Amino acid sequence: MMGPLLISIYVFVLAIFVGFEVITKVPPTLHTPLMSGANAISGITIVGAFYTAQTGNVALSNILGCLAIILATVNVVGGFMVTDRMLKMFGQKRKR
Amino acid sequence: MSPASSPSVTATLVPILYLVSAVVFIFGIKGLTKVRTARRGNLLAAGAMLLAIVATLIDLGTIDYRWILAGLVIGGLIGSIAAVKVEMTGMPEMVALFNGCGGGASVLVATAYLWYRVVEPAADGTPAALLGADSAVSSVLSILIGAVTLTGSLVAYLKLRGWIFGRRISGQPILLPGRHVINALVGLVALGAGLAAMFLPTGFGLAPLIIVAALASLVLGVLLVLPIGGADMPVVISLLNSYSGLAASATGFVLNNNLLIISGALVGASGLILTQIMCVAMNRTLGNVLFGGFGGEASAGGGGASSEYTNVKSYGAEDAALVLESAESVVFVPGYGLAVAQAQHVVRELADLLIERRVKVTYGIHPVAGRMPGHMNVLLAEADVPYEQLLEMDTINPEFKETDVVIVVGANDVVNPAAEKTPGSPIYGMPILKVYEAQTVMMIKRSLSAGFAGIKNELFEYDNTIMLFGDGKKMLQDMLAEVKAAG
């Protein structure tokens, strides 16, 4: 009935809608943290990079895969950490 | 999805873990939309990422981990050092760089996948037949979007930083003649070469075609962001953020991985929402921001050179402090100049002193003040300003009439009454902070020079406006000292 491509497209379109529904009316205070947090999530490509770097060969695919893992990890680790740093500053205010 | 190596248990377990991860991502992003839950939301998202990584390693089973480990260690070190070291004032640059990394990773994954599956095994036939036409076409899209994100973010980074190879570059748009035609051609080359690579037999030069597609896409990213000026950066950064998500989604289509598709789509949606908010705040369409080259050519129609001012009252810190002493309510309006002068801490000190003296102090934040969405909020949060004091444009605007003193620090276009009163002005129709309605407006500015829009600001000539010329931080420090001395 439904090919894998069609299922993927369904998933994609529905996920976009979920995204819109979940994120509507984000307050301006959180624009930057939302952006940098979401950005860290886009580093999910790291998962794809693993598949292309799974042998010990010294081949272009492995080198590119390793580079991809480096970039994605920078994005993920840096992104989540820097977002946390920002949000910690927002949180402190309420204790004062 | 990995070839062989998966016994039936992991074949079911891994997709379930991916599903859990996707759901936790959604909760994480939802958390990021409320101040109270934001920190937890970010941690949830990080946890979901970890789960996704673990699930993938389970899926891969026994493999050679050397390349993967090397990548994780190097990337983790760079990322964590960057995250700890960056100053809050350097946040727009950092976000742009991380964004570029996300796009770069997508290009590399798609390219590496093509090499791993088609080029290196030297398979016969067309990649579209070998991988499936959907995977093949998606990999071209992944390369295209990822590469545009990568170089577009790098150009944005350089524009935000303001210098390259030791030379200052201006935030002004760089407009090439016939740039729309050039962009369209480069885009067509990228897409054409990519699709040709996928649908021609591998013998036709698969590798060179992919490289041409990737290079053309990288060039396209540069060309697309070069014509966009500094003050439009909030829109560009939001849009690039969205692209990095779409690139991840495209990679998901390549690998047939729903987790990538879902998380990428979430990021894509969040970037689009921010882009939309930024465009509304400037009363401009996305097309106008992307293709308009605003600011470079607009000044001609702005009416009068920006240096022609009459009836400008210039005060010193001492006089300003006198005015402040009789004020009962003060609103600070920060702009990009606040970030440049790093004046956020002095602003907060002055605010604290005024609050001690029972003055009502708030901050009016324009949505596009600064160089990224929420830029001012982050800066002021760093200076320990309670976020409850930061008021959005719609909340603060009705209050200006009852405000004694507005102190504008390094903002210009977002308080320019021309947006309301001068049809034909390039910024006409843009929602502004109505500071001119206040009893007194203090503009802290280096000179009478125009803002990004390159147009005159009549507010400087209003009877209730006083100009405080000088560096923002220095001027505020002087005012702080004067107010203290007077108390």
Per-residue pLDDT of B390-432, as tens digits, reads: 999 999 999 999 999 999 998 888 899 988 888 878 788 889 9
| pLDDT given at position B294 | 54
Give pLDDT, residue A95. Answer: 44
CA distances from B53 to A20, B1, B186 (A): 26, 15, 36
B89 touches A: beta carbon within 8 Å: no
Residue with tokens 């990288």: B218
Quick check: is B413 catalytic?
Answer: yes
Give the integer Cα–Cα distance in Å for B52 and A96. Answer: 38
Single-letter amino acid, residue B330: V
Residue B467: pLDDT over 70: yes
Are A51 and B60 an interchain contact pair (Cβ–Cβ within 8 Å)?
yes
pLDDT at residue number B171: 62
pLDDT at site B220: 95
Instruction: Tell me which residues of chain B, numbers 399 to 458, contact chain A at a CB-CB cutoff of 8 Å.
Output: none
Greatest mean pLDDT among B64-73, B240-249, B282-291, B292-301 lies in B240-249
User: Taking CB atoms and an 8 Å cutoff, what residues of chain A touch B207?
Assistant: none
- A76 contact residues in B (CB cutoff 8 A): 46, 49, 75, 79
Pairs across A and B, CB distance < 8 A: 392
CB contact under 8 A, A48 and B254: yes
Q: How far apart are CA A65 and CA B391, in angstroms?
A: 46
Q: Name the strand (E) or helix (H) holding B442.
A: strand B440-445
Which of A39, A77, A81 faces B95 most closely, judged by CB atoms? Answer: A39
pLDDT of residue A9: 94
Residue B291's pLDDT is 74
Closest CA to B470 of B405, B400, B393, B410: B410
**Residue B1 pLDDT:** 47
CA atoms within 13 A on the CB side of B95: 33
Residue range B7-59, pLDDT digits in tens: 677 788 999 999 999 999 999 999 999 988 999 999 999 999 999 999 999 98
A11 has a chain B CB within 8 A of its CB: yes
**The three-state (H, E, C) secondary structure of B446-460, written as one string:** CCCCCCCCCCCCHHH
What is the mean predicted confidence (pLDDT) over B337-354?
A: 91
A45 to B102: CB separation less than 8 angstroms, yes or no: yes
ipTM here: 0.94
pLDDT at A91: 67
Decide if B33 and A72 are in contact by the 8 Å CB cutoff: no
CA distance A32 to chain B (A): 5
% of chain B with per-residue pLDDT over 90: 53
The answer to whether A11 and B261 are in contact (CB under 8 A) is yes
Catalytic site residue from B413, B463, B471, B478 = B413
Whole-number Å distance between alpha carbons of B42 and B57: 23
- Residue B296: per-residue pLDDT: 42
B383 touches chain A (CB under 8 A): no
List the 43-72 stretch of A: residues with Cβ below 8 A of B: 43-56, 59-72
Which of B127-131, B138-142, B209-213, B248-252 is least confident? B127-131
Residues of chain B in contact with residue A34, where contact means CB-CB under 8 angstroms, are: 29, 32-33, 270, 274, 374
Q: Please give the average pLDDT of every successive group of 10 residues along chain A, which has 96 residues.
A: 83 95 88 94 93 83 93 96 91 52
As a whole number of angstroms, the distance between CA A32 and CA B453 comes to 24
**Is A16:B265 a contact under the CB 8 Å cutoff?**
yes
Min distance A25 CA to chain B CA atoms (Å): 8
Phi, psi at residue B379, to the nearest 5°? -60, -45
**CA–CA separation, A59 and A66 (whole Å):** 11
Give dist(CA B155, CA B152) in Å, integer.
5
**How sure is the predictor about B298, in pLDDT bands with cuts at 50, 70 and 90?**
very low
Interface contact flag, B95 A70, Cβ < 8 Å: no
pLDDT band at B302 (very low <50, low <70, confident <90, very high): very low
3-state helix, strand, coil in chain B (%, to 5): 65, 5, 25
Distance in Å, alpha carbon of B32 to nearest chain A alpha carbon: 6
As a whole number, the mean pLDDT across chain B is 87
Query: Residue B80: its chain A contacts at CB < 8 A?
Result: 77-78, 81
* Range 246-305 of B in CB contact (< 8 A) with A: 247-249, 251-274, 277
Question: At CB < 8 A and 24+ separation, what contacts does B10-15 make?
Answer: B10/B58, B10/B59, B10/B61, B13/B55, B13/B58, B14/B55, B14/B56, B14/B58, B14/B59, B15/B258
Confidence of residue B303 (pLDDT cuts 50, 70, 90): very low
Q: Give every CB contact of residue B3 below 8 A, 6+ residues apart in sequence.
A: none
Q: What is the number of other CB atoms lying within 10 angstroms of the CB of residue B163?
A: 9
Spell B114-134 as b/e; 16+ CB within 10 A means b. bbbbbbeeeeeebbbebbbeb
Give residue B292's pLDDT band: very low, low, confident or very high (50, 70, 90). low
For chain B, the residue count is 487
Contact A19 B268 (CB under 8 A): yes
pLDDT digits (tens, 9 = 90+) for B436-456: 999 999 999 888 877 766 778
Q: Work out the pLDDT band at B306, boundaries 50, 70, 90.
A: very low
For B89-145, write each residue's pLDDT tens digit: 888 899 999 999 999 999 999 999 999 988 888 888 888 888 888 899 999 999 999
Rounded mean pLDDT, B279-306: 62
H helices present in B61-90, as ranges: 66-85
Closest CB to A42 among B68, B83, B102: B102
Distance between CA atoms of residues B445 and B338, nearest Å: 10
pLDDT of residue B295: 46
> pTM of the entire structure?
0.88
Q: Which residue of A has its CA nearest to B274?
A: A31
